Amino acid sequence: MATTIDTAQLAQTFTGQLLHPADAGYDDARRVHNGLIDKRPALIARCHGTADVADAVTLARTLNLEVAVRGGGHNVAGRAVIDAGLMIDLSAMKGIHVDPRARVGRVQGGVLWREFNRETQLHGLATTGGVVGSTGIAGLTLGGGLGWLMPKYGLALDNLRSVDLVMADGSVTRASADENPDLFWAVRGGGGNFGIATSFEFDLHPVGPIIAGGLVIHPLARAVDVLEFFRDTCATLPDEVMLVCGLLFAPDGSGAKLSGLVGCHCGSLQDGEAALTPIKTFGPPVMDQMGPLPYCVQNSLFDASMPRGALNYWKAQFLTDLNDEAIRVIVEQFDKAPSPMCQIVIEHFHGAASRIPISATACALRVTGFNVVIAGQWSDPKDTERTRSWCRETYAALRPYLSNLRYVNYLDQDEGDDPAAGVYGQNYARLRELKKTYDPDNFFHQNVNIKPGA
């Protein structure tokens, strides 16, 4: 049961909203994207600016409260909310400024990718962002930031110019290549371990507003052929193309199981249509929605299949080789999926994001390969255990083919004692030393936690 916190003194200067458990709006504010998460903070600080965030951190330290930080609230593990502690909510911090001449975008920590894309696309500009438009910029970027542009322009964090942070002592610090470069190295992949990111500055690139992209659909009976074609096609893709393969249910409620390919070409429309022609003609597909479309639409293609409030449990890990046996296991396991909302998504990594040295940022995902996401999703709580079981069984069946690489933003709640060690690999020792410098008390630990070095 959450306790009531006296916030009278803070309320005199706080420009946002302070929500206690009995307040109107509290229940909506504590809900995150994953409907399986049901935590009750003792207090929610809905911040309007950096000063509010700093005051909230000071309050938490004064009252010895555990802290969780919410940007977009999309993290599947529910790390944006906490029981009986202080939830620092940045979701009202929506400032966006685009400088089209300098090709720079600056955004606050509560902005979603669809909101940022809408503003940058007014100028035919974009940066690598999430493949689901409702994902928050902050969490996605700090954990890596895969998206449709990553083969050409790198991960979201590779496009980060600077970030403003509220530190564990309530002070405000900027990190960039020229200011606090060690901290800048750490936050590019180190998640929320080093501070609360209140604003970001990104490089932007000429993209769209119309690009070649979209999806083609095949029946599950052809899924092995589709996955083999996907694997072979990925081996020769140019940097301008990102390709994803998914096993999913038909959205019409028929229960039909499907296999699909989703592509995006970020270069000229003419080059994009030529590059995607082999994908459109393979099969042929039973549905073809691949061709010219707005870049903003490309970034929302998965939104309907990932609705807010659905119950979610995921397992995800890298395959460095999508071999025939792994393909067979993926298809067989998807055929056992218990809920029509379940998916298996395979994201291909290549190009610029994979060529950057592992030591350049905290992010260790600098490989060419396939990220497999077993997305258990359902709407009826009575299906919770069987859907979780399906995810775990599918993961176990794929285990012989998986590498030890994992994308931090996809980690669920039950990932062992020290998942950070596996995520960061050779960068982990340096991260622990920097954690000792910038957050020696491990104040920020409701995350995939990097423990301070000894």
Average pLDDT over residues 341-352: 96
For residues 406 and 389, give the distance between their C-alpha atoms in angstroms, rounded to a whole number: 20
- What pLDDT, on a 0 to 100 scale, did the predictor assign at position 305? 86
SS percent in the chain: helix, strand, coil, step 5? 35, 25, 40
Report the percentage of the chain scoring pLDDT > 70. 98
For residues 387 and 338, give the distance between their C-alpha atoms in angstroms, rounded to a whole number: 6
For residues 443 and 435, give the distance between their C-alpha atoms in angstroms, rounded to a whole number: 10
pLDDT, greater one: 271 or 413: 271
Strand order in the sheet with 43-46: 17-19, 43-46, 86-89, 67-70
Residue 349, both tokens: 């990594």
Q: Please give the full DSSP string across 317-377, using - where no structure is assigned.
A: EEES---HHHHHHHHHHHTT-SSTT-EEEEEEE-THHHHS-GGGSS----S-EEEEEEEEE
Q: Between vectors from CA 170 to CA 138 and to CA 26, what angle results, nearest 5°?
A: 60
Last residue of a domain, one of 207, 241, 265: 207
Picking from 221, 214, 226, 353, the residue whose alpha carbon sits closest to that of residue 293 is 214
Is residue 1 over pLDDT 60?
A: no
- What pLDDT, on a 0 to 100 scale, did the predictor assign at position 34? 93
Asked whether residue 427 is assigned to any structural domain, the reply reads no
Asked whether residue 252 is assigned to any structural domain, the reply reads yes
- What pLDDT, on a 0 to 100 scale, did the predictor assign at position 413? 72
DSSP state of 112: B
Asked whether residue 8 is assigned to any structural domain, the reply reads no
Average pLDDT over residues 427-438: 97
Check whether residue 342 and residue 297 sit in a common domain: yes
Query: What does the pLDDT look like over 196-230, one tens digit per residue?
Result: 999 999 999 999 999 999 999 999 999 999 999 99
pLDDT, greater one: 7 or 438: 438
Check whether residue 243 and residue 185 sit in a common domain: no
pTM above the 0.85 mark?
Answer: yes
- What pLDDT, on a 0 to 100 scale, did the predictor assign at position 261? 98
- What pLDDT, on a 0 to 100 scale, did the predictor assign at position 417? 67
Check whether residue 106 and residue 196 sit in a common domain: yes
The position carrying tokens 């218990």 is 338
Asked whether residue 5 is assigned to any structural domain, the reply reads no
Reduced to 3 states (helix: H, G, I; strand: E, B; else coil), residue 105 is: strand
- What pLDDT, on a 0 to 100 scale, did the predictor assign at position 415? 66
- What pLDDT, on a 0 to 100 scale, did the predictor assign at position 47? 97
> Which range marks the domain in which residue 163 is found?
96-207
Reduced to 3 states (helix: H, G, I; strand: E, B; else coil), residue 269 is: helix
- What pLDDT, on a 0 to 100 scale, did the predictor assign at position 48? 96
Mean pLDDT of the chain: 94
For residues 447 and 387, give the distance between their C-alpha atoms in angstroms, rounded to a whole number: 24
- What pLDDT, on a 0 to 100 scale, did the predictor assign at position 411? 87
CB atoms within 10 A of CB 72: 25
Residue 145, both tokens: 């930031």
Is residue 390 over pLDDT 70?
A: yes
Is residue 363 over pLDDT 70?
A: yes
For residues 136 and 114, give the distance between their C-alpha atoms in angstroms, rounded to a whole number: 9
Asked whether residue 200 is assigned to any structural domain, the reply reads yes
Check whether residue 165 and residue 293 sit in a common domain: no
Picking from 151, 290, 289, 281, the residue whose alpha carbon sits closest to that of residue 229 is 281
Last residue of a domain, one of 207, 230, 265: 207
Check whether residue 51 and residue 118 sit in a common domain: no
Is residue 109 over pLDDT 90?
A: yes
Strand order in the sheet with 210-219: 287-294, 210-219, 257-265, 241-249, 343-349, 369-378, 311-319
- What pLDDT, on a 0 to 100 scale, did the predictor assign at position 65? 94
Reduced to 3 states (helix: H, G, I; strand: E, B; else coil), residue 313 is: strand
Last residue of a domain, one of 89, 104, 137: 89
Check whether residue 351 and residue 261 sit in a common domain: yes
Q: Which helix (H) or strand (E) holds 119?
A: helix 113-120
- What pLDDT, on a 0 to 100 scale, did the predictor assign at position 2? 44
CATH code for position 66: 3.30.43.10
Residue 89 C-beta-side C-alpha neighbours within 13 Å: 24
Reduced to 3 states (helix: H, G, I; strand: E, B; else coil), residue 45 is: strand
- What pLDDT, on a 0 to 100 scale, did the predictor assign at position 43? 95
Of the listed ranges 136-150, 332-346, 417-431, the one predicted with least confidence: 417-431
Beta strands in 350-454 (DSSP E): 369-378
Distances (CA, A) of 310 to 41, 250, 408: 21, 17, 21
For residues 312 and 185, give the distance between their C-alpha atoms in angstroms, rounded to a whole number: 31
Asked whether residue 428 is assigned to any structural domain, the reply reads no
- What pLDDT, on a 0 to 100 scale, did the predictor assign at position 419? 85
Count the domains in the chain: 3
